[in-house]
């Protein structure tokens, strides 16, 4: 392929709204163009890279024994109502605009395909003899992302590989556990082939649901998620899932009685702690949630935050929703910001750290008042307790190793769904005794666009992208420094043709432009190998081969260039 016959709109200017490196470089290198907030066109270079990622994913899914199919983006909302996910997904689930009984009002755009694939299984899988089976697709997904940002890292339309497995048993040969491990290993192979510095972590299942899950994270400052890893490397989880070693330090014993204090207009932890000259860690934060119309109260230390995923798990519910002010006022009899556990008539779950507090400050369920001297267990009953808070700096993993926090990008997620969807949609099979049982399911997703962005985040420098060989839009760029010189143009085209015939993706920069201009474009786009063919080099009997990742340069005779580059590409692949 020749540069002059291709569309490569590079730019020296950095887009004003692009903050993270991958967004800046994908725009500047001419890989993508924004169509609307959260929606991008993939220009020819970007599309080539995306297709290479797709090919790796497809190869590893096929190797794992999954069978490819294609499911529609338009789903009947009835299926989502059957599984209860219309409410769980909220605004993320996009509906078509329609009125009354118009078909559009009963249709949603698929953010994921558990319902559709379960309906397929319900229709065609009826015997244990057909199990296990794994199905996958690579397809566009749509999600109502409220604040799309960071380029293709957070969008409303994206390309995803989603796979689903069906089983008769949880464990043993052909069971969910076996396929889950196979898919986990396949994901490791995919991210290794894409040269991503990934970390598998324990994760929450979120609105997908299920019994267990792992995320695959790429550490980078551009990420919006956090992975929490023990210093000894034995434990890793995302922030929502991260368990912490129980706090053992008990507050100094307090015999002080509960005392009401007037705190007019002071509703936040910081405001009250400043006013009462105490530390946030000496306060009890009372957060009220709603579950099926009823209040659920969570108590955490003032310097901690409630982990809603942990809270839901401890409470034995699918999810919790922060209560609106009418429910809070009804329960406490006070304005928002003055709730407290003393005398509160509701289900209360107490974080483990709160159980060790003495002489604490908290709300008193009376507007503009707080109380001091509160001892959990003495002044309010502790019926339910657990780890329901976010991990913070200074915490240790369950094994005692200090926790390290890293910003990261999630590029893949695997779930053990169990029978969540098959129960809801009555997808059953007959076991070897002729008894009907719900299909046991697994789910496995990868964001292909995110792999591209994560690769750029992990591999770039001040000059541009440093593509891994396996997913670079072209393996090699040939910079012909003066195409008007016949010896230069003839050799450049000869190298291009021979490399192409040898199976190397090569782009010939045949533009009539200055050498420095060509070199800067090559570095910006990040071609792994650059061959420089120039008049001066030919007079010396050499061409230059430069490795983008390291900057190392090899000078070789023109007749050796193809074999040298071919070996470099093969070694890198």
85 and 172 co-located in one domain: yes
368 and 503 co-located in one domain: no
Q: Which domain holds residue 269?
A: 259-386
- Domain-embedded: residue 112: yes
Low-confidence ranges of the chain (pLDDT < 50): 208
Q: Residue 40's domain is classified under what CATH number?
A: 3.30.930.10
Instruction: Quote the number of domains for the chain.
Output: 3
Would you call 331 helix, strand, or coil by DSSP?
helix
293 and 322 co-located in one domain: yes
CB neighbours of residue 136 within 10 Å: 25
446 and 522 co-located in one domain: no
- Domain-embedded: residue 530: yes
442 and 497 co-located in one domain: no
What integer pLDDT is reported at residue 207 of this predicted model? 54
Rounded distance, CA 470 to CA 527, Å?
Answer: 11
- Domain-embedded: residue 228: no
pLDDT tens-digit profile of 506-558? 999 999 999 999 999 999 999 999 999 999 999 899 999 999 999 999 999 99
- Domain-embedded: residue 116: yes
385 backbone dihedrals φ, ψ, rounded to 5°: -140, 160
445 and 526 co-located in one domain: no
- Domain-embedded: residue 212: no
CB neighbours of residue 152 within 10 Å: 29
478 and 441 co-located in one domain: no
What integer pLDDT is reported at residue 205 of this predicted model? 60
- Domain-embedded: residue 362: yes
Residue position matching structure tokens 């090569």: 506
373 and 432 co-located in one domain: no
Q: Residue 380's domain is classified under what CATH number?
A: 3.90.960.10
The dihedral region occupied by 403, where left means phi > 0, alpha psi between -120 and 50, and beta the remainder, is beta
278 and 171 co-located in one domain: no
Domain boundary among 358, 386, 414: 386
pLDDT tens-digit profile of 312-334? 989 998 789 999 999 999 999 99
The dihedral region occupied by 29, where left means phi > 0, alpha psi between -120 and 50, and beta the remainder, is alpha
186 and 74 co-located in one domain: yes
From 416, 442, 439, select the one nearest 427 (Cα to Cα). Answer: 439
Q: Residue 491's domain is classified under what CATH number?
A: 3.40.50.800
47 and 175 co-located in one domain: yes
Rounded distance, CA 169 to CA 438, Å?
Answer: 10
Instruction: Specify which residues 300 forms β-bridges with.
Output: 285
- Domain-embedded: residue 419: no
Angle, helices 44-63 vs 176-193, to 10°: value is 150
- Domain-embedded: residue 439: yes
pLDDT tens-digit profile of 47-96? 999 999 999 999 999 999 999 999 999 999 999 999 988 888 888 999 88
441 and 478 co-located in one domain: no
Domain boundary among 386, 403, 434: 386
């Amino acid at each position: 392929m020749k540069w002059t016959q291709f569309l490569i709109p590079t730019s020296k200017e950095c887009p004003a709204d692009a903050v993270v490196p991958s967004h800046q470089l994908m725009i500047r290198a001419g890989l993508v163009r924004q169509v609307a907030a959260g929606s991008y066109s993939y220009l020819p270079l970007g599309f080539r890279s995306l297709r290479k990622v797709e090919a790796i994913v497809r190869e590893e899914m096929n190797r794992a024994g999954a069978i490819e199919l294609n499911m529609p983006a338009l789903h009947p909302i009835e299926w989502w109502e059957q599984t209860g996910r219309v409410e769980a997904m909220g605004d993320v689930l996009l509906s078509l605009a329609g009125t009354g009984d118009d078909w559009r009002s009963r249709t949603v755009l698929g953010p994921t395909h558990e319902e559709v694939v379960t309906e397929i299984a319900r229709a065609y899988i009826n015997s244990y003899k057909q199990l296990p089976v794994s199905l996958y697709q690579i397809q566009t997904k749509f999600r109502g992302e409220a604040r799309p940002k960071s380029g293709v890292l957070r969008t409303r339309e994206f390309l995803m590989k989603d796979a689903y497995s069906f089983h008769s048993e949880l464990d043993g040969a052909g069971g969910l556990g076996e396929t889950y491990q196979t898919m986990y290993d396949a994901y490791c192979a995919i991210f290794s082939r894409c040269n991503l510095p990934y970390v598998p972590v324990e994760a929450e299942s979120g609105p997908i649901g299920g019994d267990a899950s792992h995320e695959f994270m790429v550490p980078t400052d551009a990420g919006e998620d956090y992975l929490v890893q023990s210093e000894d490397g034995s434990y890793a989880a995302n922030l929502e899932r991260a368990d912490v070693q129980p706090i053992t330090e008990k507050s100094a014993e307090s015999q002080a009685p509960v005392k009401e204090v007037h705190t007019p207009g002071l509703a936040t932890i910081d405001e009250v702690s400043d006013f009462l000259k105490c530390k946030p860690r000496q306060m009890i934060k009372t957060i009220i949630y709603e579950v099926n119309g009823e209040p659920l109260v969570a108590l955490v230390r003032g310097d901690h935050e409630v982990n809603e995923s942990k809270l839901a798990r401890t409470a034995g519910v699918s999810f919790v929703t922060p209560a609106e002010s009418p429910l809070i006022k009804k329960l406490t009899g006070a304005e928002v910001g003055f709730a407290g556990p003393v005398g509160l008539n509701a289900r209360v779950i107490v974080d483990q750290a709160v159980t060790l507090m003495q002489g604490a400050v908290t709300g008193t369920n009376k507007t503009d008042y707080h109380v001091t001297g509160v001892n959990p267990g003495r002044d309010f009953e502790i019926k339910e307790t657990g780890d329901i808070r976010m991990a913070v700096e200074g915490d240790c993993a369950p094994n005692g190793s200090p926790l390290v926090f890293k910003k990261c990008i999630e590029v893949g997620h695997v779930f053990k769904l169990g029978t969540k969807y098959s129960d809801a949609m009555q997808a059953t099979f007959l076991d070897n005794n002729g008894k009907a049982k719900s299909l046991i399911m697994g789910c496995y997703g990868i964001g292909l666009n995110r792999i591209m962005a994560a690769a750029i985040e992990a591999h770039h420098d001040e000059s541009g992208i440093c593509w891994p060989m396996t997913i670079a839009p072209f393996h090699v760029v040939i910079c012909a420094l003066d195409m008007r010189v016949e010896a230069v143009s003839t050799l450049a085209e000869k190298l291009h043709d021979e490399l192409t015939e040898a199976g190397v993706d090569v782009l010939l920069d045949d533009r009539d432009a200055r050498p420095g201009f060509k070199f800067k474009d090559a570095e910006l786009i990040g071609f792994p190998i650059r061959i420089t063919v120039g008049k001066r080099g030919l007079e010396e009997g050499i061409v230059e081969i430069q490795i983008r990742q390291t900057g190392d340069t090899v000078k070789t005779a023109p007749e050796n260039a193809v074999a040298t580059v071919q070996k470099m590409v093969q070694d890198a692949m």
